[in-house]
Structure 1
Amino acid sequence: MTGDGDERTRIFFFDLGNDGIFLFRGFQKSPPVCGTTSTGRFRFRKFAACLPVAAVLTGCSGDLSTLDPAGPASASIAHLWWIMLWGSALLFALVIGLFFTSTMTRRFSGIPASRWIVWGGLVLPIPVLTGLLIAAFIQGETLFGARAETPAKVIHVEASMWNWNMRYGQTESDPESRNVLHIPAGETVEIAVSSLDVIHSFWVPRLAGKIDAIPGHETRIRLKADRPGTFGGICAEYCGVGHSAMTFTVIAHEPADYERILQTLSDAQENT
Protein backbone atom coordinates (compact mmCIF):
# COMPACT_ATOMS: atom_id res chain seq x y z
CA MET A 1 0.00 0.00 0.00
CA THR A 2 1.05 3.63 -0.49
CA GLY A 3 3.34 4.88 2.26
CA ASP A 4 3.98 1.41 3.71
CA GLY A 5 7.51 1.21 2.36
CA ASP A 6 6.80 -1.59 -0.10
CA GLU A 7 8.28 0.39 -3.04
CA ARG A 8 4.95 0.32 -4.86
CA THR A 9 5.44 3.77 -6.38
CA ARG A 10 8.98 3.05 -7.56
CA ILE A 11 7.88 -0.15 -9.27
CA PHE A 12 4.92 1.64 -10.85
CA PHE A 13 7.06 4.48 -12.18
CA PHE A 14 9.82 2.40 -13.77
CA ASP A 15 7.78 -0.59 -14.95
CA LEU A 16 4.95 1.11 -16.83
CA GLY A 17 6.40 -0.59 -19.90
CA ASN A 18 5.10 -3.92 -18.60
CA ASP A 19 1.58 -2.64 -19.24
CA GLY A 20 2.41 -1.56 -22.79
CA ILE A 21 2.87 2.15 -22.04
CA PHE A 22 4.89 3.25 -25.08
CA LEU A 23 6.76 6.03 -23.29
CA PHE A 24 8.61 3.56 -21.09
CA ARG A 25 9.02 0.66 -23.50
CA GLY A 26 12.51 1.86 -24.38
CA PHE A 27 13.59 1.37 -20.76
CA GLN A 28 11.95 -2.04 -20.32
CA LYS A 29 14.07 -5.19 -19.93
CA SER A 30 17.32 -3.36 -20.67
CA PRO A 31 20.40 -5.46 -19.78
CA PRO A 32 22.75 -3.98 -17.17
CA VAL A 33 26.01 -2.50 -18.44
CA CYS A 34 29.40 -1.96 -16.81
CA GLY A 35 28.57 -4.36 -14.00
CA THR A 36 25.38 -2.55 -13.01
CA THR A 37 23.06 -4.92 -11.16
CA SER A 38 20.17 -2.55 -10.41
CA THR A 39 17.93 -2.57 -13.48
CA GLY A 40 15.73 0.22 -12.14
CA ARG A 41 18.74 2.45 -11.52
CA PHE A 42 20.06 1.73 -15.02
CA ARG A 43 16.71 2.67 -16.54
CA PHE A 44 16.72 5.97 -14.72
CA ARG A 45 20.29 6.69 -15.84
CA LYS A 46 19.36 5.86 -19.41
CA PHE A 47 16.48 8.33 -19.24
CA ALA A 48 18.68 11.01 -17.64
CA ALA A 49 21.32 10.53 -20.36
CA CYS A 50 18.78 11.64 -22.97
CA LEU A 51 18.19 15.00 -21.29
CA PRO A 52 21.45 16.70 -22.42
CA VAL A 53 20.74 15.65 -26.01
CA ALA A 54 17.28 17.19 -25.81
CA ALA A 55 18.77 20.37 -24.35
CA VAL A 56 21.28 20.63 -27.21
CA LEU A 57 18.56 20.13 -29.84
CA THR A 58 16.59 23.06 -28.43
CA GLY A 59 19.50 25.31 -29.38
CA CYS A 60 19.12 24.58 -33.09
CA SER A 61 18.51 27.64 -35.20
CA GLY A 62 18.15 28.49 -38.86
CA ASP A 63 16.75 30.85 -41.44
CA LEU A 64 13.18 29.94 -40.44
CA SER A 65 13.70 29.79 -36.68
CA THR A 66 11.35 31.91 -34.57
CA LEU A 67 13.84 31.60 -31.70
CA ASP A 68 16.55 33.43 -33.66
CA PRO A 69 14.85 36.85 -33.97
CA ALA A 70 16.22 39.66 -36.12
CA GLY A 71 13.58 42.30 -35.37
CA PRO A 72 11.41 43.62 -32.52
CA ALA A 73 8.25 41.77 -33.59
CA SER A 74 9.99 38.41 -33.80
CA ALA A 75 11.76 39.14 -30.52
CA SER A 76 8.34 39.62 -28.91
CA ILE A 77 7.20 36.28 -30.31
CA ALA A 78 10.34 34.53 -29.04
CA HIS A 79 9.84 36.17 -25.65
CA LEU A 80 6.24 34.94 -25.56
CA TRP A 81 7.43 31.44 -26.51
CA TRP A 82 9.79 31.36 -23.54
CA ILE A 83 7.06 32.66 -21.24
CA MET A 84 4.75 29.87 -22.46
CA LEU A 85 7.51 27.29 -22.01
CA TRP A 86 8.29 28.25 -18.42
CA GLY A 87 4.60 28.64 -17.60
CA SER A 88 3.92 25.15 -18.93
CA ALA A 89 6.92 23.79 -17.04
CA LEU A 90 5.60 25.35 -13.83
CA LEU A 91 2.18 23.81 -14.39
CA PHE A 92 3.75 20.43 -15.16
CA ALA A 93 5.85 20.60 -11.98
CA LEU A 94 2.78 21.42 -9.89
CA VAL A 95 0.77 18.53 -11.33
CA ILE A 96 3.64 16.03 -10.97
CA GLY A 97 4.23 17.28 -7.44
CA LEU A 98 0.60 16.63 -6.56
CA PHE A 99 0.81 13.19 -8.17
CA PHE A 100 3.80 12.08 -6.11
CA THR A 101 2.41 13.69 -2.98
CA SER A 102 -0.84 11.76 -3.31
CA THR A 103 0.82 8.41 -4.10
CA MET A 104 3.85 8.46 -1.80
CA THR A 105 2.57 10.20 1.32
CA ARG A 106 0.25 8.28 3.58
CA ARG A 107 -1.33 11.22 5.37
CA PHE A 108 -2.92 12.54 2.14
CA SER A 109 -4.76 9.31 1.40
CA GLY A 110 -7.84 10.48 3.29
CA ILE A 111 -8.36 13.64 1.22
CA PRO A 112 -11.52 13.38 -0.94
CA ALA A 113 -11.02 13.11 -4.69
CA SER A 114 -13.17 16.19 -5.28
CA ARG A 115 -10.71 18.32 -3.33
CA TRP A 116 -7.80 17.08 -5.46
CA ILE A 117 -9.77 17.97 -8.59
CA VAL A 118 -10.60 21.48 -7.36
CA TRP A 119 -7.08 22.32 -6.20
CA GLY A 120 -5.12 20.41 -8.80
CA GLY A 121 -7.42 21.08 -11.74
CA LEU A 122 -8.59 24.63 -11.03
CA VAL A 123 -6.86 26.54 -8.24
CA LEU A 124 -3.28 25.81 -9.37
CA PRO A 125 -3.65 26.09 -13.18
CA ILE A 126 -5.90 29.18 -13.31
CA PRO A 127 -3.30 31.77 -12.10
CA VAL A 128 -0.65 30.37 -14.45
CA LEU A 129 -2.98 30.24 -17.46
CA THR A 130 -4.31 33.74 -16.70
CA GLY A 131 -0.78 35.14 -16.66
CA LEU A 132 0.03 33.43 -19.97
CA LEU A 133 -3.17 34.76 -21.55
CA ILE A 134 -2.43 38.35 -20.48
CA ALA A 135 1.13 38.09 -21.82
CA ALA A 136 -0.17 36.74 -25.15
CA PHE A 137 -2.67 39.61 -25.55
CA ILE A 138 -0.02 42.24 -24.79
CA GLN A 139 2.42 40.73 -27.28
CA GLY A 140 -0.33 40.46 -29.92
CA GLU A 141 -1.16 44.15 -29.62
CA THR A 142 2.51 45.00 -30.11
CA LEU A 143 2.96 42.60 -33.02
CA PHE A 144 0.14 43.97 -35.17
CA GLY A 145 0.84 47.59 -34.29
CA ALA A 146 -2.53 48.37 -32.72
CA ARG A 147 -0.97 51.15 -30.65
CA ALA A 148 1.49 52.51 -33.21
CA GLU A 149 1.21 55.03 -36.00
CA THR A 150 1.05 53.89 -39.62
CA PRO A 151 4.59 53.59 -41.06
CA ALA A 152 5.60 55.83 -43.94
CA LYS A 153 6.39 52.88 -46.21
CA VAL A 154 3.64 50.47 -47.27
CA ILE A 155 4.48 47.54 -49.54
CA HIS A 156 1.72 45.56 -51.24
CA VAL A 157 2.24 41.80 -51.42
CA GLU A 158 -0.05 39.65 -53.57
CA ALA A 159 0.09 35.87 -53.24
CA SER A 160 -0.81 33.52 -56.06
CA MET A 161 -0.18 29.87 -56.84
CA TRP A 162 2.79 29.64 -56.12
CA ASN A 163 4.54 32.97 -56.12
CA TRP A 164 4.69 36.28 -54.30
CA ASN A 165 4.40 39.59 -56.15
CA MET A 166 5.70 42.67 -54.33
CA ARG A 167 4.70 46.23 -55.32
CA TYR A 168 6.42 49.21 -53.70
CA GLY A 169 3.61 51.72 -54.03
CA GLN A 170 -0.10 52.19 -54.75
CA THR A 171 -0.17 52.20 -58.55
CA GLU A 172 0.71 49.61 -61.19
CA SER A 173 3.53 51.83 -62.46
CA ASP A 174 5.39 51.55 -59.14
CA PRO A 175 8.40 49.21 -58.87
CA GLU A 176 7.67 45.50 -58.49
CA SER A 177 9.62 42.37 -57.63
CA ARG A 178 8.81 38.68 -57.61
CA ASN A 179 9.56 36.36 -54.68
CA VAL A 180 12.05 38.88 -53.28
CA LEU A 181 10.92 41.54 -50.81
CA HIS A 182 13.22 44.54 -50.32
CA ILE A 183 12.92 46.56 -47.10
CA PRO A 184 15.06 49.24 -45.43
CA ALA A 185 16.89 48.03 -42.32
CA GLY A 186 16.06 49.81 -39.08
CA GLU A 187 12.68 51.09 -40.33
CA THR A 188 9.19 49.74 -39.76
CA VAL A 189 7.45 48.78 -42.99
CA GLU A 190 3.77 47.87 -43.27
CA ILE A 191 3.03 44.90 -45.51
CA ALA A 192 -0.45 44.88 -47.10
CA VAL A 193 -1.13 41.23 -47.96
CA SER A 194 -3.79 39.89 -50.35
CA SER A 195 -4.34 36.82 -52.53
CA LEU A 196 -5.22 36.33 -56.17
CA ASP A 197 -6.71 32.83 -55.82
CA VAL A 198 -6.83 30.78 -52.59
CA ILE A 199 -5.89 31.49 -48.97
CA HIS A 200 -2.15 31.66 -48.40
CA SER A 201 -0.19 32.78 -45.34
CA PHE A 202 2.67 35.30 -45.31
CA TRP A 203 5.38 34.43 -42.78
CA VAL A 204 8.92 35.67 -42.19
CA PRO A 205 9.78 33.79 -38.96
CA ARG A 206 12.83 35.86 -38.00
CA LEU A 207 11.07 39.20 -38.52
CA ALA A 208 7.39 38.81 -37.61
CA GLY A 209 4.45 36.48 -37.13
CA LYS A 210 2.11 34.97 -39.70
CA ILE A 211 -0.82 36.62 -41.41
CA ASP A 212 -3.24 35.15 -43.94
CA ALA A 213 -3.44 36.29 -47.55
CA ILE A 214 -7.17 36.19 -48.33
CA PRO A 215 -8.79 36.65 -51.77
CA GLY A 216 -10.73 39.93 -51.97
CA HIS A 217 -9.47 41.10 -48.58
CA GLU A 218 -6.35 42.96 -47.45
CA THR A 219 -4.59 42.10 -44.21
CA ARG A 220 -1.65 44.02 -42.76
CA ILE A 221 1.42 43.19 -40.75
CA ARG A 222 4.56 45.15 -39.89
CA LEU A 223 8.17 44.16 -40.46
CA LYS A 224 11.33 45.67 -39.07
CA ALA A 225 14.83 44.27 -39.45
CA ASP A 226 17.32 45.39 -36.83
CA ARG A 227 20.21 45.15 -39.30
CA PRO A 228 20.86 44.54 -42.99
CA GLY A 229 20.64 40.91 -44.01
CA THR A 230 18.73 38.21 -45.86
CA PHE A 231 15.81 36.37 -44.26
CA GLY A 232 13.68 33.47 -45.43
CA GLY A 233 9.92 33.66 -45.89
CA ILE A 234 7.36 30.95 -46.61
CA CYS A 235 3.69 30.32 -47.20
CA ALA A 236 2.41 28.87 -43.93
CA GLU A 237 -1.01 27.76 -45.23
CA TYR A 238 -1.36 24.66 -47.42
CA CYS A 239 -2.46 25.94 -50.83
CA GLY A 240 -2.02 23.07 -53.26
CA VAL A 241 0.62 20.88 -54.87
CA GLY A 242 3.17 23.71 -55.16
CA HIS A 243 2.85 24.81 -51.53
CA SER A 244 6.25 23.54 -50.38
CA ALA A 245 8.01 25.59 -53.08
CA MET A 246 6.12 28.81 -52.32
CA THR A 247 8.99 30.57 -50.61
CA PHE A 248 10.40 34.08 -50.85
CA THR A 249 13.36 36.06 -49.61
CA VAL A 250 13.40 39.28 -47.60
CA ILE A 251 16.47 41.47 -48.08
CA ALA A 252 17.01 44.30 -45.61
CA HIS A 253 19.19 47.07 -47.06
CA GLU A 254 20.82 50.16 -45.70
CA PRO A 255 18.39 53.07 -46.34
CA ALA A 256 20.52 54.56 -49.14
CA ASP A 257 20.92 51.16 -50.80
CA TYR A 258 17.19 50.56 -50.51
CA GLU A 259 16.34 53.65 -52.55
CA ARG A 260 18.89 52.63 -55.17
CA ILE A 261 17.34 49.14 -55.40
CA LEU A 262 13.88 50.63 -55.96
CA GLN A 263 15.27 52.85 -58.71
CA THR A 264 16.90 49.83 -60.34
CA LEU A 265 13.61 47.91 -60.24
CA SER A 266 11.78 50.90 -61.70
CA ASP A 267 14.28 51.28 -64.55
CA ALA A 268 14.09 47.57 -65.37
CA GLN A 269 10.31 47.76 -65.40
CA GLU A 270 10.32 50.68 -67.84
CA ASN A 271 12.64 48.84 -70.21
CA THR A 272 10.38 45.81 -70.51
Structure 2
Amino acid sequence: MTSSSHSSITTLPAPKPNSRPWYHPTISPEHGVYVVLLVSFLLGAAAAVQWTWATTLALICAVCGFQAEHPLIVQLKQRRKAKPRLLFWGSLYAGVALAIALYLYWQQGEVLLPLLGIYIGAIAALGMDAVSVFYRQQRSILNELMTFFAVCLSAPFAYVVTTGTMSASVVGLWLLNGLFFSSSIFTLKLRKHKHHSIISSLVYHAIASFVILGLWAIGWLCSMVALTFGVALLKFGIILWRKDWYCTTKIQFVALLETTMSFLFLVMTALSLLPAYI
Protein backbone atom coordinates (compact mmCIF):
# COMPACT_ATOMS: atom_id res chain seq x y z
CA MET A 1 0.00 0.00 0.00
CA THR A 2 1.40 3.37 -0.97
CA SER A 3 1.82 6.19 1.49
CA SER A 4 -0.69 8.31 -0.40
CA SER A 5 -3.38 5.64 -0.22
CA HIS A 6 -2.64 5.07 3.46
CA SER A 7 -2.99 8.79 4.07
CA SER A 8 -6.33 8.92 2.27
CA ILE A 9 -7.70 6.08 4.40
CA THR A 10 -6.63 7.57 7.70
CA THR A 11 -8.13 10.95 6.94
CA LEU A 12 -11.64 9.58 6.35
CA PRO A 13 -14.08 11.04 8.88
CA ALA A 14 -14.84 8.70 11.75
CA PRO A 15 -18.48 7.68 12.17
CA LYS A 16 -20.38 9.47 14.87
CA PRO A 17 -20.67 7.17 17.91
CA ASN A 18 -24.20 8.38 18.72
CA SER A 19 -25.60 8.03 15.20
CA ARG A 20 -28.02 5.15 14.70
CA PRO A 21 -30.02 3.92 11.70
CA TRP A 22 -33.69 4.88 11.78
CA TYR A 23 -34.76 1.29 12.43
CA HIS A 24 -32.84 1.08 15.73
CA PRO A 25 -35.37 1.60 18.57
CA THR A 26 -34.95 4.56 20.89
CA ILE A 27 -34.75 3.55 24.56
CA SER A 28 -35.12 6.05 27.37
CA PRO A 29 -31.96 6.30 29.51
CA GLU A 30 -33.99 7.44 32.54
CA HIS A 31 -33.51 4.23 34.52
CA GLY A 32 -34.95 5.70 37.70
CA VAL A 33 -38.27 6.38 35.98
CA TYR A 34 -38.52 2.70 35.01
CA VAL A 35 -38.44 1.88 38.73
CA VAL A 36 -41.08 4.51 39.54
CA LEU A 37 -43.33 3.28 36.74
CA LEU A 38 -43.00 -0.40 37.57
CA VAL A 39 -43.39 -0.01 41.35
CA SER A 40 -46.44 2.25 40.99
CA PHE A 41 -48.07 -0.06 38.46
CA LEU A 42 -47.47 -3.17 40.57
CA LEU A 43 -48.94 -1.45 43.62
CA GLY A 44 -52.03 -0.52 41.61
CA ALA A 45 -52.36 -4.18 40.59
CA ALA A 46 -51.81 -5.25 44.20
CA ALA A 47 -54.63 -2.96 45.31
CA ALA A 48 -56.83 -4.60 42.66
CA VAL A 49 -55.82 -8.05 44.02
CA GLN A 50 -55.86 -9.54 40.52
CA TRP A 51 -54.11 -9.45 37.16
CA THR A 52 -56.15 -9.66 33.97
CA TRP A 53 -55.47 -9.32 30.25
CA ALA A 54 -56.52 -5.67 30.59
CA THR A 55 -53.80 -5.21 33.23
CA THR A 56 -51.19 -6.51 30.79
CA LEU A 57 -52.44 -4.17 28.08
CA ALA A 58 -52.32 -1.27 30.54
CA LEU A 59 -48.70 -2.07 31.39
CA ILE A 60 -47.75 -2.12 27.69
CA CYS A 61 -49.61 1.17 27.24
CA ALA A 62 -47.81 2.80 30.18
CA VAL A 63 -44.37 1.62 29.02
CA CYS A 64 -44.96 2.76 25.43
CA GLY A 65 -46.27 6.11 26.64
CA PHE A 66 -43.12 6.57 28.71
CA GLN A 67 -40.89 5.52 25.80
CA ALA A 68 -42.64 8.00 23.48
CA GLU A 69 -41.58 10.85 25.76
CA HIS A 70 -37.83 10.30 25.25
CA PRO A 71 -37.55 10.85 21.45
CA LEU A 72 -39.97 13.78 21.71
CA ILE A 73 -37.82 15.51 24.32
CA VAL A 74 -34.58 14.81 22.45
CA GLN A 75 -36.13 16.17 19.24
CA LEU A 76 -37.18 19.33 21.06
CA LYS A 77 -33.63 19.78 22.26
CA GLN A 78 -32.48 19.61 18.63
CA ARG A 79 -34.68 22.62 17.89
CA ARG A 80 -35.02 22.95 14.10
CA LYS A 81 -32.92 19.90 13.14
CA ALA A 82 -35.38 17.09 12.44
CA LYS A 83 -34.25 13.56 13.30
CA PRO A 84 -36.18 10.89 11.33
CA ARG A 85 -35.27 8.15 13.83
CA LEU A 86 -36.65 10.17 16.73
CA LEU A 87 -39.80 11.10 14.84
CA PHE A 88 -40.42 7.52 13.68
CA TRP A 89 -39.99 5.80 17.04
CA GLY A 90 -41.70 8.57 18.97
CA SER A 91 -44.70 8.28 16.67
CA LEU A 92 -44.68 4.47 16.86
CA TYR A 93 -44.56 4.36 20.68
CA ALA A 94 -47.20 7.08 20.94
CA GLY A 95 -49.40 5.32 18.39
CA VAL A 96 -49.28 2.00 20.27
CA ALA A 97 -49.97 3.73 23.60
CA LEU A 98 -52.86 5.72 22.13
CA ALA A 99 -54.42 2.67 20.44
CA ILE A 100 -54.33 0.63 23.66
CA ALA A 101 -55.58 3.58 25.71
CA LEU A 102 -58.57 4.07 23.41
CA TYR A 103 -59.35 0.35 23.43
CA LEU A 104 -59.23 0.18 27.24
CA TYR A 105 -61.41 3.30 27.42
CA TRP A 106 -63.93 1.71 25.06
CA GLN A 107 -63.97 -1.46 27.19
CA GLN A 108 -64.77 0.35 30.45
CA GLY A 109 -68.31 0.98 31.57
CA GLU A 110 -68.88 3.00 34.73
CA VAL A 111 -65.35 4.40 35.15
CA LEU A 112 -65.05 6.39 31.94
CA LEU A 113 -64.59 9.67 33.81
CA PRO A 114 -61.76 8.49 36.15
CA LEU A 115 -59.96 6.82 33.23
CA LEU A 116 -60.37 9.95 31.13
CA GLY A 117 -58.94 11.98 34.02
CA ILE A 118 -55.86 9.73 34.12
CA TYR A 119 -55.37 10.13 30.36
CA ILE A 120 -55.75 13.91 30.52
CA GLY A 121 -53.34 14.11 33.46
CA ALA A 122 -50.67 12.09 31.63
CA ILE A 123 -51.04 14.06 28.38
CA ALA A 124 -51.01 17.39 30.23
CA ALA A 125 -47.84 16.39 32.10
CA LEU A 126 -46.16 15.42 28.81
CA GLY A 127 -47.14 18.74 27.28
CA MET A 128 -45.87 20.74 30.25
CA ASP A 129 -42.63 18.75 30.25
CA ALA A 130 -42.16 19.52 26.54
CA VAL A 131 -42.68 23.23 27.20
CA SER A 132 -40.20 23.08 30.09
CA VAL A 133 -37.62 21.42 27.84
CA PHE A 134 -38.17 24.01 25.11
CA TYR A 135 -37.46 26.80 27.61
CA ARG A 136 -34.68 24.77 29.27
CA GLN A 137 -36.52 24.52 32.58
CA GLN A 138 -36.79 20.72 32.68
CA ARG A 139 -34.68 20.42 35.83
CA SER A 140 -36.84 22.76 37.90
CA ILE A 141 -38.31 21.31 41.09
CA LEU A 142 -41.86 22.00 39.88
CA ASN A 143 -41.34 20.15 36.61
CA GLU A 144 -39.69 17.19 38.33
CA LEU A 145 -42.52 16.97 40.87
CA MET A 146 -45.05 17.02 38.05
CA THR A 147 -43.13 14.28 36.22
CA PHE A 148 -43.03 11.95 39.23
CA PHE A 149 -46.72 12.36 40.00
CA ALA A 150 -47.56 11.83 36.32
CA VAL A 151 -45.58 8.57 36.16
CA CYS A 152 -47.25 7.46 39.42
CA LEU A 153 -50.62 7.69 37.64
CA SER A 154 -49.77 4.16 36.53
CA ALA A 155 -51.05 2.99 39.95
CA PRO A 156 -54.67 4.14 39.51
CA PHE A 157 -54.42 3.25 35.81
CA ALA A 158 -53.64 -0.39 36.68
CA TYR A 159 -56.40 -0.47 39.29
CA VAL A 160 -59.13 1.08 37.13
CA VAL A 161 -58.59 -1.07 34.04
CA THR A 162 -58.30 -4.22 36.18
CA THR A 163 -61.32 -3.76 38.43
CA GLY A 164 -63.52 -1.39 36.44
CA THR A 165 -63.96 0.73 39.56
CA MET A 166 -62.35 3.73 41.28
CA SER A 167 -62.07 4.64 44.96
CA ALA A 168 -60.62 7.28 47.25
CA SER A 169 -58.08 4.78 48.59
CA VAL A 170 -56.60 4.47 45.09
CA VAL A 171 -56.22 8.25 44.88
CA GLY A 172 -54.50 8.05 48.25
CA LEU A 173 -52.20 5.33 46.90
CA TRP A 174 -51.31 7.55 43.93
CA LEU A 175 -50.45 10.45 46.26
CA LEU A 176 -48.42 8.12 48.49
CA ASN A 177 -46.39 6.95 45.49
CA GLY A 178 -45.89 10.48 44.24
CA LEU A 179 -44.72 11.77 47.62
CA PHE A 180 -42.42 8.79 48.17
CA PHE A 181 -40.61 9.01 44.84
CA SER A 182 -40.52 12.83 44.79
CA SER A 183 -38.37 12.74 47.92
CA SER A 184 -35.48 11.78 45.63
CA ILE A 185 -35.67 15.22 43.99
CA PHE A 186 -34.58 16.86 47.23
CA THR A 187 -32.05 14.25 48.36
CA LEU A 188 -30.27 14.20 44.99
CA LYS A 189 -29.88 17.98 45.12
CA LEU A 190 -27.66 17.46 48.16
CA ARG A 191 -25.38 15.42 45.92
CA LYS A 192 -25.48 17.65 42.84
CA HIS A 193 -24.82 20.77 44.88
CA LYS A 194 -22.35 19.84 47.60
CA HIS A 195 -23.08 22.98 49.65
CA HIS A 196 -26.84 22.86 49.11
CA SER A 197 -28.79 23.55 52.29
CA ILE A 198 -30.72 20.63 53.77
CA ILE A 199 -33.56 22.99 54.74
CA SER A 200 -35.56 22.35 51.57
CA SER A 201 -35.20 18.58 52.06
CA LEU A 202 -36.31 18.82 55.68
CA VAL A 203 -39.28 21.01 54.73
CA TYR A 204 -40.35 18.62 51.96
CA HIS A 205 -40.23 15.51 54.14
CA ALA A 206 -42.09 17.32 56.93
CA ILE A 207 -44.85 18.51 54.58
CA ALA A 208 -45.08 15.09 52.90
CA SER A 209 -45.39 13.39 56.30
CA PHE A 210 -48.25 15.71 57.28
CA VAL A 211 -49.99 15.05 53.95
CA ILE A 212 -49.73 11.29 54.54
CA LEU A 213 -51.09 11.79 58.05
CA GLY A 214 -53.99 13.76 56.57
CA LEU A 215 -54.73 11.04 54.02
CA TRP A 216 -54.83 8.51 56.85
CA ALA A 217 -57.09 10.78 58.94
CA ILE A 218 -59.70 11.11 56.18
CA GLY A 219 -59.59 7.39 55.42
CA TRP A 220 -57.85 7.53 52.04
CA LEU A 221 -54.97 5.43 53.38
CA CYS A 222 -55.15 2.68 55.95
CA SER A 223 -52.64 2.85 58.79
CA MET A 224 -50.35 0.08 57.48
CA VAL A 225 -50.13 1.61 54.00
CA ALA A 226 -49.55 5.11 55.39
CA LEU A 227 -46.69 3.82 57.54
CA THR A 228 -44.79 2.69 54.44
CA PHE A 229 -43.83 6.33 53.83
CA GLY A 230 -41.42 5.68 56.67
CA VAL A 231 -39.15 4.09 54.04
CA ALA A 232 -38.62 7.55 52.52
CA LEU A 233 -37.85 8.94 55.97
CA LEU A 234 -35.43 6.06 56.58
CA LYS A 235 -33.62 6.80 53.32
CA PHE A 236 -33.44 10.50 54.17
CA GLY A 237 -32.07 9.66 57.62
CA ILE A 238 -29.34 7.44 56.10
CA ILE A 239 -28.37 10.22 53.70
CA LEU A 240 -28.13 12.78 56.50
CA TRP A 241 -26.11 10.33 58.60
CA ARG A 242 -23.66 9.60 55.77
CA LYS A 243 -23.92 12.92 53.93
CA ASP A 244 -20.22 13.15 53.06
CA TRP A 245 -20.26 9.64 51.63
CA TYR A 246 -23.50 10.30 49.75
CA CYS A 247 -22.14 13.45 48.12
CA THR A 248 -18.87 11.88 46.96
CA THR A 249 -19.59 8.21 46.26
CA LYS A 250 -20.08 6.78 42.76
CA ILE A 251 -23.48 7.27 41.19
CA GLN A 252 -23.89 3.47 41.02
CA PHE A 253 -24.06 3.29 44.82
CA VAL A 254 -26.62 6.10 44.91
CA ALA A 255 -28.70 4.21 42.34
CA LEU A 256 -28.37 1.05 44.44
CA LEU A 257 -29.63 2.90 47.52
CA GLU A 258 -32.58 4.34 45.61
CA THR A 259 -33.48 0.99 44.04
CA THR A 260 -33.18 -0.88 47.34
CA MET A 261 -35.46 1.59 49.11
CA SER A 262 -37.94 1.48 46.23
CA PHE A 263 -38.03 -2.32 46.40
CA LEU A 264 -38.52 -2.19 50.17
CA PHE A 265 -41.35 0.31 49.68
CA LEU A 266 -42.90 -1.97 47.05
CA VAL A 267 -42.79 -5.07 49.25
CA MET A 268 -44.09 -3.34 52.39
CA THR A 269 -46.89 -1.50 50.58
CA ALA A 270 -47.95 -4.54 48.55
CA LEU A 271 -48.13 -6.70 51.67
CA SER A 272 -50.21 -4.00 53.34
CA LEU A 273 -52.60 -3.87 50.38
CA LEU A 274 -53.04 -7.58 49.74
CA PRO A 275 -55.57 -9.50 51.84
CA ALA A 276 -54.19 -11.57 54.69
CA TYR A 277 -55.21 -14.90 53.12
CA ILE A 278 -52.94 -14.43 50.08
TM-score category (smaller protein): under 0.3
Greater RCO, 1 or 2 (C-alpha within 8 Å, sep 6+): 2
What TM-score comes out, normalization by structure 2 length?
0.25
Structure with the largest fraction of helix: 2
Structure with the largest fraction of strand: 1
Structure with higher Rg: it is 1
What TM-score comes out, normalization by structure 1 length?
0.26
